[in-house]
Structure 1
Amino acid sequence: MRPILFLTAALSLAPHPAAARDTLDRVVMLMRHGVRAPITGEAPADTKVDGAWPAWPVAPEVLTAHGAKAIAQLARHDRRWLTGKACPVRGSVRVWTNTAERTVATGRVYADALAPGCDLPVGHNADGKVDPLFEPLRAGATAFDADRAVAAITAYTGGVDALTVRHADAIRELDRVLGCGLPAGCSTPGPATLKPSRDGRGIDFTGPIRSTSGTAQVILLQYAEGMPMAQVGFGRADATTIRRIGTLHAALFDVFTRSPYMAAHQAGPIGHHMLATLTAAQAPRLEMLVGHDTNVTALGAALGVDLDAPGFARNDVAPGGALVLKRWRGSKGPYVTVSYRVQPLDAIRSGAARVVETPLAIPGCGIRCPLDRFDKLLRAKLAPAVAG
């Protein structure tokens, strides 16, 4: 468990609007970072386009000022779970992020907007130290078997060639947006392949989905950033188009996070951590974990839910999108509800203060899941930590 690092004054949590006699006493959230500049190579360098990629106001991978404003909107929305104007009691709120600049910066913006003037600490590992909560495969946090992973992904997807065929229309749509006009398409990815990585701690995936998924995400980020439409997808992508090609980015998670085996290992450490926070006798009343889309999709898969939000393809996680686990005190004992809290894509773009929170039914348990059953169901889907 992470050290508890927070400030003084009163914090309480508002009652469930649909169950006035029930009391919300703990919230644990896993959120993707906010809008960032593209990662170097996210749109492959050999992608052919008719036009020029627009310049970004920040370095690659860095949270933008526009993205920060959207995160602040989410924090102000989440503040409704806190009553009173005083700063949170020490230990009652915790923010923990991965070490990447975009996650640390997102955590800082969120904390400042959640409790203005309270200087809430934002915790994270030292730069260069892998955090197993957010990068479990890289950290060797579970007994991951790359050969078993490849077999499981193949069973889940029907094979990487079948995955490519299923998304052929979206690939053609992306080619239209890129505008290169070549019969072979605008990317030259080679054949689809899936194999264990050389170090055995992950998988290597190549081919059309791997190549186009990042490009589709870059175009979505242009729109979310509020760039002029003449610059979004070279002037050839509107909101409807962006949602359609977003299925290519979502397809990447069918490989890396959504099969039961990959979900178990990708969500294992962070899922166990969140369960510990939900079930402990003493824990923060509000915990925010800031990571990446892979973290959110893996936890969603382990929970057995799909992630839908206005403007986004199914299971393509919104910047700032979060899975929210709430523990309630009810007349029949404690129970858990799960929801997906996001800003619609158009709201991120425009800066509108609009947030959507969608309740999610847990398979085998429903909308309100008794705490002990929720713990048992989720724990069964998570890989255990390795000794040491």
Structure 2
Amino acid sequence: MMKRIFHRVIAAGCIFGAAFLSASVVRAEARHDGVLEKVVFLGRHGVRSPTKPIDDLRGMTGFHWPEWPVKPGEMTPHGERALSAMVTAVRGRYVEQGLLSAGACGDVAQGVVVWADAADRRTQRTGEIWADRIAPSCGVVAHWANDAQNSIFNDRSVSSLSSAEHMAVLHDFITVSSRPMPAGVIEGVAYLQGWVAPGGCTLGHKSGACFRVPVMLDWKGGKPRLKGGVATAGTLAEDLLLMQAEGFPAEDFGLNGQDVERGLQRVVSVHEYESSLLRRTAAYARARNGRMADAIRAFLSDHVVPDIPNVTPQTRIVVLAGHDTNQDAMMALFGVSWTFSDQPDSTAPDTVMAFERWRRSNGRKEMVIRVYHQSVDQLRNAQEPDVNHGITVLRRPL
């Protein structure tokens, strides 16, 4: 019986001109009394299509999901434009902070390392856009591992957990999923059910997607994953948000004149809740992305960074081009969280976490974590956000 529980648990429930960068070209940020010395950017890829084929989504829900201009899971041309706008805006802020300059390139290519997740073309392309826009025409090149399973973005050890780690993941899931589901999430599940899979909870109905089914922690190939209920609902809610960010017309949402943006505000809470059940729990985050957190801390502390090639003592900026799942893990491992008033998804496409190292006037080193994002409208219109209003979520001595 314990073996069965061990393997399956049911529970309720981020274009300027040329750039120059070096250690000496940093200046004080007067407001914060210090000098910005280094930064790691962890950016999510741009707008992508649903990872499941459209025919599969239609068959699962009965909803007429529209066709996308790219294959499943690929970043769209619009997504690339929106991401370029985000990186341009981020670059502008760090020109203002003195870590980058709008002058000649100099040795900037030695000062910036861009490392992308090799597992998907959308993250590789995200790395290329960062390399092109963070220091235009300065020779920065994006790199990724030859092996698609790169330990920084998705550690193999997550499929070979020790018994203690396995039980810790299980414990965290049970703890979170056994709490009462927030009222907003319950409302979002019901609204989404009526939106994309009406009748899905009726026996014999053509849609088999019933979001009231208890969510499960299932172990496939030794890796934990969520199945059923709000896990399915959360994924579909994100697909709807991606449609809005891509610019699909209102009629494709099938709301018969109802406000699409308001509908999205109601259902994306389900996606946020889904993330909290596994990806934002400490044990799973540590197993899957502990190496990423260690690499960020090592770089900011001037230690060797073995898991990211080409990082040298001259490196001042590291860009990690990854996924929302990586940002979820960093939330858990650094103990931070955030929300946006103009974007219901806290890890929406192009969202950037910036891990900064500041040296204060008293010599003390401090890590500051900031988050930059685009609103739904800015994503939809491929516009630059005002990153000067980025959210500061952590200040901590190094």
State whether residues 219 and 225 of structure 2, in contact with CA within 8 Å, keep that contact through their aligned partners in structure 1: yes
For residues 95-148 of structure 1, the C-alpha deviation after alignment (integer angstroms, 9 at most, x for no partner) is: 11101101001111121122222232101011x531111112566587573333
Contact kept? 1:75, 1:111, Cα under 8 Å: no
Cα 1:224–1:138 shift into 2, 3 Å: farther
CA contact (8 A) 1:26 1:285 kept: yes
Structure-to-structure mapping, 1:1-388, within 5 angstroms:
10-11=21-22, 12-13=25-26, 15-16=28-29, 18-19=31-32, 21-40=33-52, 44=57, 46-50=59-63, 52-80=64-92, 81=94, 82-87=100-105, 88-99=107-118, 100-126=120-146, 128-137=147-156, 143=162, 145-158=165-178, 162-163=180-181, 167-178=185-196, 180=198, 184=202, 187-188=209-210, 191-195=213-217, 197-200=219-222, 202-232=223-253, 236=258, 238-280=260-302, 282=313, 284-313=315-344, 316-332=346-362, 333-356=364-387, 357-362=389-394, 367=395, 369-371=396-398
- Percent identity at matched positions? 23
Q: Which runs of 5+ in 1 are unaligned?
A: 1-6, 372-388
Summarize deviations over 1:260-311 as a string: whole Å, max 9, x none.
Answer: 2223223311000111110116252111101111110110122222131243
CA contact (8 A) 2:50 2:72 kept: yes
Please say if residues 371 and 393 of structure 2, whose CA atoms lie closer than 8 Å, have aligned partners that are also in contact: no
Q: CA deviation at 1:34?
A: 0.7
2: CA distance between counterparts of 1:318 and 1:233? 23
Matched position secondary structure for 1:91: helix
- How far the C-alpha of 1:205 sits from its partner, in A, is 2.4
Partner secondary structure for residue 390 of structure 2: strand
1:213 and 1:327 map into 2 onto residues whose CA distance is: 35
Is the 1:189–1:206 contact (alpha carbons within 8 Å) kept by the matching residues of 2? no
CA contact (8 A) 2:82 2:381 kept: no
- What runs of 5+ residues in structure 2 fail to find an aligned partner? 1-17, 95-99, 304-312
Within 2, Cα distance between the matches of 1:302 and 1:139?
15
Number of residue pairs aligned between Structure 1 and Structure 2: 353
Q: Aligned pair in 2 of structure 1 residues 233, 16: CA closer, same or farther (>3 Å)?
A: farther
Q: Is the 8 A contact 1:8 1:90 kept in 2?
A: no
Query: Matches of 1:190 and 1:309 in 2, distance apart?
Result: 27
Q: Distance in 2 between matches of 1:8 and 1:354?
A: 21
SS in 2 for 1:230: helix
SS of equivalent to 2:60: coil
Distance 1:274 1:182, change over 3 A: closer
For 2:40 and 2:254, how far apart are their aligned partners in 1?
36
Counterpart residue type for residue 34 of structure 1: G
- Contact 2:149 2:156 survives alignment (8 Å): no
Give per-residue Cα distances to partners, 1:192-221, cap 9 Å, x unaligned: 253451533x21422211111111111100
> Could you tell me how far 1:59 is from its partner in structure 2?
1.1
Q: 1:204 to 1:361 in 2, by over 3 A?
A: closer
Question: 2:110 aligns to what SS in structure 1?
Answer: coil
Tell me which of the two structures has the higher relative contact order, counting C-alpha pairs closer than 8 angstroms and 6 or more residues apart. 2
Distance 1:277 1:25 in 2: 11
**2:294 maps to amino acid:** H
Cα offsets for 1:205-257 (capped at 9, x unmatched): 22211111111111100000112122245665522221221111112211222
On the 8 A contact 1:141/1:269 being kept in 2, the answer is: no
Q: TM-score, normalised by structure 1?
A: 0.82
Between the aligned partners of 1:13 and 1:231, the Cα distance in structure 2 is 49
Report deviation, 1:54: 1.3
Q: How far did residue 189 of structure 1 move?
A: 6.0
Shift of 1:74: 1.4
Which shifted more, 208-217 or 174-183? 174-183
* Bigger mean CA deviation after superposition, 109-118 or 303-312: 303-312
TM-score, structure 2 length as denominator?
0.80
